[in-house]
Structure formats: structure tokens, C-alpha cells
Chain A
Amino acid sequence: MSEIVIKTENLSKLYRLGVVGTGTISHDLNRWWARVRGKEDPFLKVGQENVRDQAAQSDYVWSLRDINFEVPEGEVMGIVGKNGAGKSTLLKILSRITSPTTGEIKIKGRIASLLEVGTGFHPELTGRENIYLNGAIMGMTKAEVKRKMDEIVDFSGVSAYVDTPVKRYSSGMTVRLGFAVAAHLEPEILIIDEVLAVGDAEFQKKCIGKMKDVANQGRTVLFVSHNMTAVNSLCKSCMYLKNGRIVSIGEASEIVNEYLSSENASMTEVTWSEKERPGDDVVTIHSARMIDSQYNNIDYVKMDEKFGIEYIYEVHKPGYKPNPNIHINTSKGELAFVGIEESHSGLSEVGLHKTTMWVPENLLNDGNYSVRLAVDSYNPFIVHAEAKDAMYFEVIENMNKRNHDFKRKIGGVVRPELQWESNIISYSNIVK
């Protein structure tokens, strides 16, 4: 049984919207007057729930509301939620950048946060000087940094420039150096927010490796990310926040699925305005939609019916042979399959093209998928136009049509209809 290292009790955070100006002072005086008389802050009552796309009715918004959770020692917990769900606010409170409006958090052990790497880098100082400074800002002593200096420099991969002022660094190098320092903190609790989004692939691998190390050493990690694959593979448990409240906490894979199915609301039709059309000077994509066999728009896909992905693109220049193709990805970001146009009819003609890929029934398992549309030339290979995550759709199964009695979710990316051949080949005598 492991100890609880983070425990929050009714944590809430109220934010004021709008501009601070002459008008604000009346509110402040109001609150002060209420406090003097020993009454409750009048503005704590009026805060509304944090829903970003709704017009605000009140000047105050609950960025977090009644957050209660516990994290046991050694747990790697993911925090997922849409932008504005309160993830960053929660991390900011945990890392003491701002304080809660009500409630409290109890923490056991040294806590360090990587809200953004390279905090406090001074452009005029050299890499080495900045390692000392940054390390100290993050809570290391000078002796600690000195001891780990070689490791940090090695890890960052910028050893050749370590005595050059940081202002001469590329942004990628700055980030590497910053992460290297952060990765060598040795806190009992590590808070990470979206840092994996920066740096090149090789460096990201290093970072994930470092995170795993930290986790393997039995330290606690809170990990906020929009990358569901990362959350899924790194985290044991997960918390799903929506509009400042906890929707659910549980096993990482379950929560990720729940999050994806409720937030990645399907989007089965898209039209780009003239300025936003993805593409280069050869090809641009205009619009796309998902259809059933009667060419009607659909909101979701029935597993046992075929469906089509149709898109319209324009070829602006002759001399290429732009070939449409579609990638279908699972909600975890894995590629399910790629379809490439094969009819080869008039692909190089300049003008507006419409293309449809028909996906047979009983191919994809139930779940959420995203569509990447592209138009490429293959000789030489050029990606003319690409629209990642252009559409999202959900495949839904009619359970009543199952020909067996297993009535729970069946795993896997594909759900082909398979031929079974079963016979009894010999009877045994049953002793009654």
C-alpha cells in the first residue's frame, strides 16, 4: 500500500474576466467591506461554470470547482481535458504559482514543475551560467548543479556551445538545455505540462525515456498533455477535467477513451474558406464530407454498412499527377489504414476534382477515428495538400446483430466479418 502524496480538498479557483480598470475598484471595495463585516465574499456566489464558448453572464468564472482527488506515491497520473478545462490552473496551484480561492492541497515531498522549460534563461549569459541560474530557480542548490553539470550538458546535446551566450542559440537548443536542467531535478513529485510538444523526434524520445526513468524510480508524476498516445503509454491512471470539474478518474486507457469519445465530437463535414484551403500552388482541398451509399451526409458510421469519404480538390497547374489518398487514424493516433486512389482517370487535368473512397462494411471496429486527407505526387514524391484530422467520426455497432452471446466491447482496430467453420468431430459419452 502506498502513501498518498497529493491530496486536494474541495479545491476551487475563481477568475475575474475582463479588464482591470476604474470599474474594478468598486468590486474590490465591496469585497473588502464584506470582509470587514465578517460576511462571505459576495462575488464567490456569482461565479459561473467555465464554459468557454458560451457568452459570459458574469464577470467571474470558476476555473476549477470542487476538485477532490488523491495521488498515491509512485503513480504516474495523466490529466486530460480540452483547452480551458482547468488543467493548467490546477498545475499552477499545485506548483504554487497562484493560490486557490477555496479549499486546500496537501503535498508530501519536494515538488517541481516543468510548466515551461528554460524559465529565467538570460540571453547574455552562457549556457553554463544559465544552467546554474535555471537550476537554482527550479530549486537546486549550486552544489547540486555542479555535481550534475556533466550529465546535464550531455543530456542536452549542446556541449559544443555551452560557453556561448544563450542568445546565440537556436530556439531548439534553448529548449533542449532547459529540459536537460529540468530533467535532472530530483523532486519526489514532478509536474509536466505539454513539454513533449517541443523539440525534434529524437529529443522527444529522450524526454519520454527520462519521464519513464523518473516513474520507475518510484517518484510521482503528474502529466498534462493533449497527446493521448503519450498519456496512454506513460500513465497508469488519469483524470479527466471538463469545465473546471472532474468528470472521472481511473485507469488511463479507460479515461482516455472516455475523453476521446465525449470530446472529439464527430465532425463529418468540412468546408474550407478560400484563404484556409490546405494545399500548395499545385493543389488545394476545398471541402470534404462523409456519406452513405446513397450519397447522403452521415453523422456517424454504422459498422455493418459501407460508407464513403468524399472530397473536392482543385488542380491549379499541369505537369503533375496529383494522386488523392486518405489516412484513417484511431483515436490513439495509430494508423488504421491508408487508401490511395487507383482508378487513375484524368488526375493531371487542371480543374476541380471530386474523389470518393468507399470503405466496405465490417472493416473498422467500433470507436473513434480521424481522417487525414492528402493529395500527393509520387514521381518525385511531393505532398501538395494535406489536412490532418480534417474529420472525426465514430463507428457504431448494433449489438443486437451479433450472432453470439458475448455482449461486451470487442477489442481491436478492425472487425472483419469472418467465416467460421466448426464441426463436432467426435462425441464423448457423458456419464450421468
Chain B
Amino acid sequence: MAVRSIQGAENQEWSLVIKPKTNWLSLNLKDLWRYRDLLFLFVRRDFVAVYKQTILGPAWFFIQPILTTVMYMVVFGGIAKLSTDGMPQSLFYMSGVTAWSYFADCINKTSKTFTSNAAIFGKVYFPRLIMPLSIIVSNLIKFGIQFLLFMGFLVFFLVKGSDVNPNFYIFLMPVLILMMACLGLGLGLIISSLTTKYRDLTHLVTFGVQLFMYATPVVYPLSALSDKNELIQKIVMLNPLTPIVEAFRYSFLGAGTVSPIDLVISGVTILFILIIGIIVFNRIEKNFMDTV
């Protein structure tokens, strides 16, 4: 032991240095890339595990949006008689529900990243960001399936000759989805980081996401607000999701209020939230095992 080359040790290149704190934005993208297989295995696991030992299997992915749409048609369309911008109710609600539930699933699940994976995080290291990313991707698959359902409805109404006008805004769809994913991820990361030590926020999340839905034009069109209270209008317009959902709806149905400026503003806001989320997550992930 005495003959170790201590002098040599100083000049060595270390492949890993573990320190109490790292830079605010050291994302370790290389590490993330090395573990990309893990991301897809997590996605697969989530997907397969959901419908194992169920009779209807993946059909559950359809049942949920259909039932929600029917419920909205009865409550908001039938009883409250909210405007649907002149669109068939089923299409109007389903477009909202499909887009909204992707965002809601992302935020609900990623916000539990640390607390529900404590057992696995406590035993082995892999880039923690893999976990929320896998949630975003597996929800994307679910969204894809539900989106096909929506397309089916759309085609049905087109054939029937209803007044729906899909337009070139459809090409914006990947961007819109990306924006929703980033917002869900960003907020989810912030919430999951804040809840490792103090759990208070978890009680707020489910409830908060529901409130968030009413601040987003899911069950009503943006145009319905034009003659309403200015404060309400402001709140809804401040919501970065508003332009996304409106644009999503407009691209397929041809009805809605889209302004490119609002979309850009919303994009910038989302980017800002995402960066904050990643910074906070990075700060927390190293030590959360001690407090979770």
C-alpha cells in the first residue's frame, strides 16, 4: 500500500467527481443519452403494466375520453348551454379533452417523480431526469391513441358534411404538442422538487390542475369570453395553455381564436418555466433521498 503512485494521482483524469453541489445548469446530457434505452424501457413498462390483467386492455385509452366528452356534452353543453363556436359538441369537447388530458397527465405524474420513485432512486443511480421524461413520452403514446379516436370522429363529421374546416394550421400540431409536453414537464419538475421536503403542495396539485382546466378554454371557446369580465379574460389570456388549446382546435375544426403573437409569447413563457423546472430539479435530485 505504501508504494502507491501518489504523485501520479494528481495528474490523473477522473471520470467522475462527486461534490456537494454542482453548477446550476449542468444537465449532464451525455449521461442522459447513455441511458436512453432505459427511457424507452420505462415507457414500455408503463404501457404494458397499465392493461395487464384487465379484460378491455388498451381499450381503456378510448373509454376515458369518450366518457369525459359525453359528460361535458351533458353538463356544459346540455345544462349550462355554453357556446361551442358553432361546432358539433362532441367534436368540440373531444378536441379540448384530448389536448388537455395530455397536459394534465404529464403534470400529475411528473409532479410525483420523487415521492413515488423513492424506493428505486434510493438504491441505484441513473440520471433522475429519465423518469419524468419517460412519463412525458409514455403519455405521448396515450395521447396518440386518443388522437386517433378524435380523428375518427373528425372524419365521421366531415363525411356527414358538417361545417368543420381542417386547415394548414395542422402542421403546427407537433409544435403544439411539444409546448404542452414542456409545460407539463416544467411545472411537474418544479412541483416534484418542492414536495420532497414539504408535502403541503401535493394536496394542492390535483385540485390545482382542475382549477387550471377552467382557466383554459377546454369546455368553452375563447370567443365566449369577449363580452365577459375583463379580469377573467386577462387570467385566461395569461395562461400559456390558452393559445395552444385554441390553436389545436382551430387547426382541426376551423373555429377558434388564434394569434401567432400569443403563441410565441406562450412558447417563451413555457421555455422559461421549463428552465426553472430543470434548475430546481437538478438542485434537489442530489440530496432528495435524505429528505423524502
Interface on A for B, CB 8 Å cutoff? Answer: 1-4, 7, 15-16, 20, 24-25, 28, 70, 72, 92-111, 113, 115-116, 119-120, 122, 124-125, 129, 132-133, 136-142, 165, 237, 250
Please list 5 pairs of residues, one from A and one from B, whose beta carbons are closer than 8 Å in the complex, sorted by A's number: A16-B290, A72-B4, A93-B18, A96-B125, A165-B52
CA distance A177 to B19 in the complex (A): 34
The answer to whether A98 and B15 touch (CB under 8 A), given A70-B4, A136-B37, A137-B126, is: no
| Minimal Cβ-Cβ distance residue in B for A103 | B20
The 7 A-B residue pairs with the shortest CB-CB distance, nearest first, are A136-B38, A96-B125, A99-B286, A106-B14, A105-B18, A142-B37, A107-B16
Neighbour of B124 across the interface among A3, A119, A124, A237, CB < 8 A: A119
**Residues in B whose Cβ lies below 8 Å from that of A16:** 290-291
**Residues in B whose Cβ lies below 8 Å from that of A250:** 1
**Residues in B whose Cβ lies below 8 Å from that of A140:** 37
CA distance A28 to B198 in the complex (A): 11
The answer to whether A139 and B289 touch (CB under 8 A), given A70-B4, A97-B125, A237-B1, is: no
Tell whether, in the assembled complex, residue A133 and residue B20 are in contact, meaning their CB atoms are under 8 Å apart. no
**Residues in A whose Cβ lies below 8 Å from that of B4:** 1-2, 4, 70, 72
CA distance A92 to B21 in the complex (A): 16
The answer to whether A20 and B15 touch (CB under 8 A), given A72-B4, A122-B45, is: no
**Residues in B whose Cβ lies below 8 Å from that of A110:** 15
B12 within 8 A of A: yes
The answer to whether A137 and B38 touch (CB under 8 A), given A115-B124, A250-B1, is: yes
**Residues in B whose Cβ lies below 8 Å from that of A111:** 16
**Residues in A whose Cβ lies below 8 Å from that of B197:** 20, 24, 28
Interface on B for A, CB 8 Å cutoff? Answer: 1, 3-6, 8-9, 12-21, 34-35, 37-38, 40-42, 44-45, 48-49, 52-53, 120-126, 197-198, 286-287, 289-291
CA distance A98 to B3 in the complex (A): 33
**Residues in A whose Cβ lies below 8 Å from that of B52:** 124, 165
Give the Cβ gap from A211 to chain B, nearest Cβ, in Å: 19
Tell whether, in the assembled complex, residue A115 and residue B123 are in contact, meaning their CB atoms are under 8 Å apart. yes
CA distance A395 to B256 in the complex (A): 91
Q: A97-B125, A100-B18, A100-B19 are in contact. List 11 more A-B contacts (CB 8 A).
A: A104-B17, A111-B16, A115-B124, A119-B124, A120-B120, A120-B124, A124-B48, A124-B49, A133-B45, A137-B120, A139-B34
**Residues in A whose Cβ lies below 8 Å from that of B124:** 95, 97, 113, 115, 119-120, 137-138
CA distance A101 to B289 in the complex (A): 13
Tell whether, in the assembled complex, residue B198 and residue A94 are in contact, meaning their CB atoms are under 8 Å apart. no
Give the Cβ gap from A258 to chain B, nearest Cβ, in Å: 16
Tell whether, in the assembled complex, residue B289 and residue A92 are in contact, meaning their CB atoms are under 8 Å apart. yes
**Residues in B whose Cβ lies below 8 Å from that of A133:** 41-42, 45
CA distance A138 to B41 in the complex (A): 12
CA distance A94 to B18 in the complex (A): 8
**Residues in B whose Cβ lies below 8 Å from that of A116:** 123
Tell whether, in the assembled complex, residue B15 and residue A109 are in contact, meaning their CB atoms are under 8 Å apart. yes
**Residues in B whose Cβ lies below 8 Å from that of A25:** 198
Neighbour of B5 across the interface among A3, A97, A105, A125, CB < 8 A: A3
